[in-house]
Structure 1
Amino acid sequence: MINEFKDFIAKGNVMDMAVGIIIGAAFTAIVTSLVGDLINPIIGLFTGGIDFSGWFYILGEGDCASVEACQEAGVAVFAIGNFLMAVINFLIIAFVVFMLVKMVNRVKAAAEKPEEVAPEVKSGPSELDVLLEIRDALKKA
């Protein structure tokens, strides 16, 4: 069983996946900062600073000024604004990642550009030469 585990871990796919997960975790911090610190403020500038996170409905009894206050008080809250902000952030992050992957694929394609292939030169007799040989052979017969 230990040998099987060693074989499993030593496979290239497992190691590639592990590296991908580690890079992905580090990359998440970069993308989150890009969205939160650079893109969201620009979007806020165009939308007049709309923040949906304050949009909530109290489902139980209680009177709270914010979602956090309701949650601390133990009041049931339908936090639609937090959900909308999470969806908007997801869409922004997905678009940014899409653009980054598109750019990486473009760079990779340029690096792997195939070399010009010279047209193949036929070796041996041409079709005309073969036909002439057949004609000459038929004349002799």
Structure 2
Amino acid sequence: MGIVQDFKAFAFKGNVIDLAVAVIIGAAFGKIVSSLVEDVITPLLLNPTLKAAGAENITKLSWNGVMYGNFLSAIISFLCIAIVLFMVIKAAAKMQKPPEAAPVAGPTQEQLLAEIRDLLKNK
């Protein structure tokens, strides 16, 4: 029974559950970002640029049997995803509230008593 209890304690710790939720949400967010890049950014920005350069189907580019077009396509896709993620993270950081400044601490009781003492001495 010790192994079952140990596993239960491990599996239901808060950080393990939080990690599982983060992985699931990350996978869903990855699909959203991939769709944004493949379905919106690529047709609007990348395809016209490739047509102007005369390389409409970049994945078919090759040189002496080396299919470097696939590699270039993967690099371009990575850069697009990285830029989109950077912009999303930057926007999310702006939407978060800035941390509240710590309240300014007033004078201590000893400081107040010293001021009163000094005022009484001056009279």
Counterpart secondary structure, 1:99 = helix
After superposition, the C-alpha distances for 1:75-118 in whole angstroms (9 at most, x for unaligned) are xxx3211011011101110110111111112112x2x542784x
**Matching residue's letter, 1:82:** N
Q: What aligned pairs does 1:44-59 form with structure 2 within 5 A after superposition?
A: 44-47=47-50, 48=52, 50=55, 51-57=57-63, 59=65
Q: Which ranges in structure 2 are unaligned for 5 or more consecutive residues?
A: none
Return the match for 2:67 from 72, 79, 85.
79
The structure in which a higher percent of residues are helix is: 2
User: Any idea what the Cα deviations from partners look like across 1:26-61, whole Å, max 9, x if unmatched?
Assistant: 1122111100111112222234273321112455xx
Give the one of 53, 76, 95 matched to 1:88.
76
Distance 1:25 1:127 in 2: 63
Report 1:98-117 matches (<5 A).
98-108=86-96, 110=97, 113-114=99-100, 117=103
Distance 1:121 1:28 in 2: 49
Percent of aligned pairs sharing the same letter: 34
Structure having greater relative contact order (Cα 8 Å, sep ≥ 6): 1
Where do 4+ consecutive residues of structure 1 move more than 4 Å? 132-136
Q: 2:22 matched to which residue of 1? A: 20
Q: Between Structure 1 and Structure 2, whose CA radius of gyration is higher?
A: 1
CA distance in 2, matches of 1:87, 1:8: 39
Q: Distance in 1 between matches of 2:9 and 2:27?
A: 26
Distance 2:67 2:99 in 1: 51
Question: Counterparts of 2:8 and 2:107 in 1: how far apart (Å)?
Answer: 52
Secondary structure of residue in 2 paired with 1:38: helix
> Normalising to structure 1: TM-score of the pair?
0.66
The alignment covers a number of residue pairs equal to: 115
